[in-house]
Chain A
Amino acid sequence: MELNGYHCAGEGCAEAEDEDTAGPELLLPAGGEPPCSSAAAGSGEKAMADGPAHRERRISNSTPARQRLDSLKKSRPPFPWFGMDIGGTLVKLVYFEPKDITAEEEQEEVESLKSIRHYLTSHTAYGKTGIRDVHLELPDLILWGRKGSLHFIRFPTQELPAFLQMGRDKHFSSLHTTLCATGGGAYKFEADFRTMADLQLLKLDELDCLIKGVLYIDSVVARGPPECYYYENPTHPENCQQKAYNLENPYPLLLVNIGSGVSILAVYSKDNYKRVTGTSLGGGTFLGLCCLLTGCSTFEEALEMASRGESTRVDKLVRDIYGGDYERFGLPGWAVASSFGNMMCKEKRDSVSKEDLARATLVTITNNIGSITRMCALNENIERVVFVGNFLRVNTLSMKLLAYALDYWSKGQLKALFLRHEGYFGAVGALLELLNSS
């Protein structure tokens, strides 16, 4: 039954438990193969002893639970456990690393499986552009009766051929595992997976996966930083701070997924949701325009520039037109009247910096998403809005802006919520489908 399982021997748990130190700065593009970290070895063992593990043990003693576990064992898919979300810009990969591998399992573990596990867990960067978001790792997770860590990895979609090449080199196909994939790329690259790596994809609906992923992650994160949070006092920048939010009873909620483009879903229950609308002005637009306007080439670069710029030099504000507030219509002077409106004028075009342009692009795209979201929330009569997607990754600027915009324009009616695993829910949802695949 556990032919493809692991035999754990300490060394397999080499992945970093360096969650506390892994700030965003670690996520900047890696220049090459970073050294593998083994400093935190052993901390995993300690973790294994608490919380969820105990619960599992208790469950195993009761008879019905025993049976459930047995049946789970039978239906449990063989390792490795992957979930993939192939988007327009990024491929998101989640990998469940079992940490309860018995010696027996370890011995039986085939070489290719071991090699993949080692490769993924002993690095935090892959090639020039692949990143493992170590700070997001969920350790001590019980999934289908196995205990382990959930890893979160991403790389640009344009690197997919290299990824497939690697899969081929590592004889991934010999593992006879099902690769659960969602996102547009699951369709677009299905043939490539087959021809280049001899892999059969199980294609899954993007929105299904997204919602399953959100609900799952929120339900399993029990300790560490809260999964769901919001900004308190969003309209007072000086007092504005993150606060945990309990998403236990989340319905109805508006789920706004900001990837290259934006999808807005109204979720009424676990299985009842609809796509309300979407917009093509998303993360891809921010980066695309920034590249054209500033010559930058990465999201991190664009964000960094934006953080140093001033959008009011680029945008025309209400006060630029009316000298102050436009009281008749309740428009405050600081509101943007025309995004990039100052750029109609040559002198002003000549006087702005690239940083200003990057900031204005960020503000324009973010505010627009906020505005469309607010209208959808009103039309659907929903007050809770959860923003996810990789546009928000290391993008506190946009999150605070969204929190502000929603709060201000709805007069406090709407709440903007954020999730720590912002971009990975589709991939998580895909992984969860693995159980149903066999």
Chain B
Amino acid sequence: MATPGGTNRASHSLDKSITLPPDEIFRNLENAKRFAIDIGGSLTKLAYYSTVQHKVAKVRSFDHTAKAGVQQEADGEPLYEISVQEEITARLHFIKFENTYIETCLDFIKDHLVNTETKVIKATGGGAYKFKDLIEKKLKLKVDKEDEMSCLIKGCNFVLKNIPHEAFVYAKHADSEFRFQNTRPDIFPYLLVNIGSGVSIVKVESEDKFERIGGSSIGGGTFWGLGALLTKTKRFDELLQLASKGQHTNVDMLVKDIYGGAYGSLGLTGDLIASSFGKSATADKEFSQEDMAKSLLHMISNDIGQLACLYARLHNLNRVYFGGFFIRGHPVTMHTITYSINFFTKGEVQALFLRHEGYLGAIGAFLKGAEEDNPNQYSWGENYAGSSGLMSVSPDLNPMQRARSGTFDMLEMDRLERQLVNLPLLQDPSSYIPDTVDLTEDALAREYWLYCFEEALDGVVKRAVASQKDQPEAAERAEKFRQKYRHKLQTLRHQPFAYGSLTVRSLLDTREHCLNEFNFPDPYSKIKQRENDMALKYYQKVVRSLEELSWEQRQFALVRGILAGNVFDWGAKAVSDVLESDPEFGFEQAKQQLQERPWLVDAYNQWVERLKGPPHKCALFFVDNSGMDIILGVFPFVRELLLRGTEVVLASNSGPALNDVTNSELQIVTERIAAMDPVIQTAVKEERLILVQSGSSSPCLDLSRLDKVLATVVRERGTDLVIIEGMGRAIHTNYYAMLSCESLKLAVIKNSWLAERLGGKIFSVVFKYEVPSKAQGLH
């Protein structure tokens, strides 16, 4: 992340000498439209909307009508065909760079801009006026100025709604400095304290309703201006650096300087500042620049914190976000503001910061210009491949990163096909945390998983190339993917907080984003196809053998079947090694790998007892892998539920991730099974078995971001049982998720490190059956 430097240098001499790495920064310019620009005191933020052509793997059922009634496929003929198609998706690009580069950047944009529909550029920020003529001349676009504050608020609402882990609490001395907050179902009301040269305090009550309730003239400009007078240091970030090395107690008069100790009856500790600069009220003493800068920093931070608290209290608000150039990514100021808020509210209010705070104005200005595209009607997702992530700009913290990050910072957001909402069955949406382990806080686990993902990288690259044997440049692309993902892993090793809380899920998602970036939309498509084919052949045999069992035996066999099927997971290294080396490894072998009862987590008895009772009304089943898992494990289990009179909703991924079955694949698989199995066929026909998309393309599951249609179905059907299957969905995520109805979480631990952590061995079984304490959940 670039840092706000001296305005003088930045705004007066335009540096044209740099050459930009063309496609790396202003990506997709050829499809760009709807520009917006936010020019601050030292940084420019450019925003535009582009359409991105993506390769996607599509599956299409062959025409089977000719073979109607024939239940067994002819040997060697695959179940469905896979084609790679171009798909167009929308993406938002935000680029931040120093004002120095503005002319170069405008030239670059002009040269690469193809779209001629674009006539205006929305502009905001103090510099918008200054650069108006330059922009109009260079880009031949009309500059349309937007109010700074309303852009800021619009941008803030947008990131709070769409970016998980956008907001964080800063804790300098904690194991992880950044403690990210979950996306809340309702972001309003909140207080935004924008610390630019002065301070504005804005109360935001809804999308359209906000009010500047107050402010202060003592802000970033006071720190900078007074700091420059006191220390002869001219640049803002140098002043901060100076301050971080100083001792304010040499300049400030503390309570103990007056009292000799604490002022006990008022609860004022001796170290508290009684009078800022109180010791410098003398003509005959010299003070160090560092000490004065530190004292000034404390004075201003405390003052802003105090006013923010007074306003928060008056308006009864407890969510207070801080932004503006004074804060922007500076650990020093985030710390002093946090300290001040803690002090003045006795910990009742937490100071919150935003990962993309620097972009708010640009995002807001963009949104104002893009209203006809209805950006607020969609859900958006941060693209980890195309975004720079949060960098620490503190040189003490990470000198290397500071040098490396250069001057360009990017944020890309993909428009999601589906609007995402909470699962209505979450017990408490506002406290729901999908991820089981926060790797930002758990250093040991972080170490392990980063290593794990790096180890697996060769295999993923190989798989990617193999999935596109017909394309000669695939190897080159795969290599680029490797570099990009490895670089991300390296960044995360140093700055685990770069994209919010680091989790196994975010590592997996980042890998998917990077694969997509280099046009490997679905490296496992062929494997999935082959495995689905294979498993279908055994379906009837498996069903028949189950039917021969007694009820008790059958219930156990069904559960074991799901667990055995779940062993087939290309995401797990232990399994993919076996699958690569032993193509004969089958369903029966998998069963033998399973841990015998009692399992690591074993609620099987309670589950069977429950099954002896009345049937569930409707079960929502989040499925996992293709092949054996879905066909020989899940379907027989679903069949049993249907026979009991329970309706079943099968939720599968909207897009590909590893060998997880996608919604379109599942449709074909279901058709094929229906053709063989009258129970399934009838259920499909009668809509007692329905398929829905999860809205996700991740091997993990975030129950707070699910397809709106799914949520509607769940509500309408009175779902009273949720089944979550697999490591990604039931262990890495949702292990502790509390639902308002009965739930089953089942998985086989296919990773010895994780198994050990949970107190078991590899292929340990987790069978968690939970009934909410408040019987009969709320719908």
Contacts and interface: CB of A to CB of B under 8 A. Distances in A.
Interface of A: 87-89, 183-185, 187-190, 205, 207, 259-261, 275, 277, 279-285, 287-289, 291-293, 295-297, 314-316, 321, 328-329, 335-346, 349, 357, 364, 367-368, 371-372, 375-376, 378-379
Interface string B242-275: 0000000001110101111101011000001111
Contact of B299 (A89, A280, A292, A357): A280
B217 A261 contact: no
B292 interface: yes
B291 to A, nearest CB: 11
A113 B198 CA distance: 57
Contacts, number: 196
B278 A297 contact: no
Contacts of B257: 88, 188
A343 B278 contact: no
A349 B6 CA distance: 14
A376 B310 CA distance: 7
Given A280-B302, A338-B198, A368 B230 contact: no
A291 B198 contact: no
A210 B283 CA distance: 31
Contact of B276 (A284, A340, A345, A376): A284
B228 interface: yes
B260 A189 contact: yes
Contact of A368 (B216, B226, B277): B216
Contacts of B214: 371, 375
B287 A292 contact: yes
Given A275-B266, A338-B197, A341-B198, A284 B277 contact: yes
A328 B149 contact: yes
Interface in B311-349: 311, 313-314, 344
A89 B278 contact: yes
A289 B253 contact: no
B299 A364 contact: no
Interface in B281-299: 281-284, 287, 292, 299
B147 A328 contact: yes
A87 B281 CA distance: 14
A375 B280 CA distance: 29
Contacts of B280: 288-289, 291-292
Contacts of A261: 253, 273-275, 278
A217 to B, nearest CB: 23
4 smallest beta-carbon distances between A and B, as pairs: A343-B225, A288-B277, A184-B258, A284-B275
A375 B311 contact: yes
Interface residues of B, number: 62
Contacts of A344: 7, 197, 221, 224-225, 228
A296 B281 CA distance: 9
A277 B545 CA distance: 77
A281 B299 contact: yes
A328 B147 CA distance: 9
A288 B7 CA distance: 28
B303 interface: yes
Given A87-B258, A88-B275, A187-B259, A372 B230 contact: no
A280 B252 contact: yes
A272 to B, nearest CB: 16
B40 to A, nearest CB: 13
B260 A260 contact: no
B12 to A, nearest CB: 11
Contacts of B260: 184, 187-190
28 contacts: A87-B258, A88-B274, A88-B278, A184-B260, A261-B274, A277-B306, A279-B303, A279-B306, A280-B274, A281-B218, A284-B274, A284-B276, A285-B275, A291-B281, A292-B292, A297-B284, A315-B217, A321-B126, A329-B149, A338-B219, A338-B221, A338-B222, A341-B197, A341-B217, A343-B228, A349-B225, A349-B229, A372-B307
Interface string B163-197: 00000000000000000000000000000000011
A105 to B, nearest CB: 39
Contacts of B261: 187-188
B27 interface: no
A432 B212 CA distance: 47
B279 interface: yes
A297 to B, nearest CB: 3
B240 to A, nearest CB: 14
A205 B265 contact: yes
Given A89-B281, A285-B277, A185 B226 contact: no
A205 B220 CA distance: 37
B577 to A, nearest CB: 61
Given A284-B276, A285-B299, A288-B275, 19 more contacts: A87-B258, A260-B253, A261-B253, A281-B303, A287-B281, A288-B277, A288-B279, A291-B283, A293-B230, A297-B284, A316-B221, A337-B217, A340-B221, A340-B225, A345-B8, A349-B229, A367-B217, A368-B217, A376-B310
Most buried by B among A187, A190, A281, A340: A340
Contact of A316 (B7, B197, B200, B230): B197
A344 B272 CA distance: 29
A339 B126 contact: no
Contacts of B226: 289, 339-340, 343
Contacts of B307: 371-372, 375
Most buried by A among B225, B273, B303: B225
A154 to B, nearest CB: 15
Nearest to A342: B225
Contacts of A357: 229
B234 interface: yes
A195 B650 CA distance: 86
A207 B267 CA distance: 13
A283 B230 CA distance: 19
Nearest to A375: B310
A364 B200 CA distance: 16
Contacts of B258: 87-88, 183-185, 188, 260
B178 to A, nearest CB: 28
Contacts of A346: 8, 228, 234
Contacts of A341: 197-198, 217, 219, 221-222, 225
A295 B313 CA distance: 40
Contacts of B217: 315, 335-339, 341, 364, 367-368
A288 B251 contact: yes
A185 B263 CA distance: 11
Nearest to B279: A288
A338 B197 CA distance: 5
A368 B218 contact: yes
Given A88-B253, A337-B197, A340-B229, A260 B222 contact: no
Given A338-B221, A345-B7, A375-B307, A285 B276 contact: yes
Nearest to B147: A328
Nearest to B223: A340
A283 B253 CA distance: 12
Contacts of B282: 291, 297
B278 A364 contact: no
A207 B230 CA distance: 35
Contacts of A89: 275, 278, 281
Contacts of A371: 214, 216, 307
B310 A372 contact: yes
Given A338-B217, A345-B7, A292 B277 contact: yes
